[in-house]
Amino acid sequence: MRGEARFDESQTAINVRRGDTFSVNLAGSPGATGIGWELVGSPKQLEFLGKSFEPDSDRWGAGGMERFGFRANTAGVETVNFELTCPFMPLPPAERKKHQVTVTIDA
């Protein structure tokens, strides 16, 4: 696989090659509710390229996909963690929604 690959939240284990760029896409609505996904920690074998939001429609407050871009820099296995957060209404740790993706990076 070369170039940009996109993985959705149904995928919890993915394979890429060193040098590939890819995104993990999680459904959210940060514009309307303030609730959005955040990357937890700093992956060691991946370069975080940034986060963007693509709405499902042009209506105000529309839901859509939060895209987290990465580049695979080193062969190995990396676990990437995400957490659904709301800055103005923090949830207790036991109530926070989490998503984990295991990335296998081939040389």
Give the tens place of pLDDT for each residue, 17-49. Answer: 999 999 999 988 776 677 889 999 999 999 999
Confidence band for 2, pLDDT divided at 50, 70 and 90: very low
4-106 adopts what CATH topology? Answer: Immunoglobulin-like (2.60.40)
Which is nearest to 72 in space by CA: 22, 8, 24? 22
Going from N- to C-terminal start, the domains of the chain cover 4-106
- Number of Cα atoms under 13 Å in the Cβ half of residue 51: 12
Secondary structure class of 33 (helix, strand, coil)? helix
End-to-end Cα distance, the chain: 12
Report the distance separating Cα 85 and Cα 37, nearest Å: 6
Q: Give the model confidence (pLDDT) of 50-81 as tens digits.
A: 999 888 877 776 778 899 999 999 999 999 99
Structure pTM? Answer: 0.85
Look-up: residue for tokens 């296995």? 77
In total, the chain counts a number of residues equal to: 107
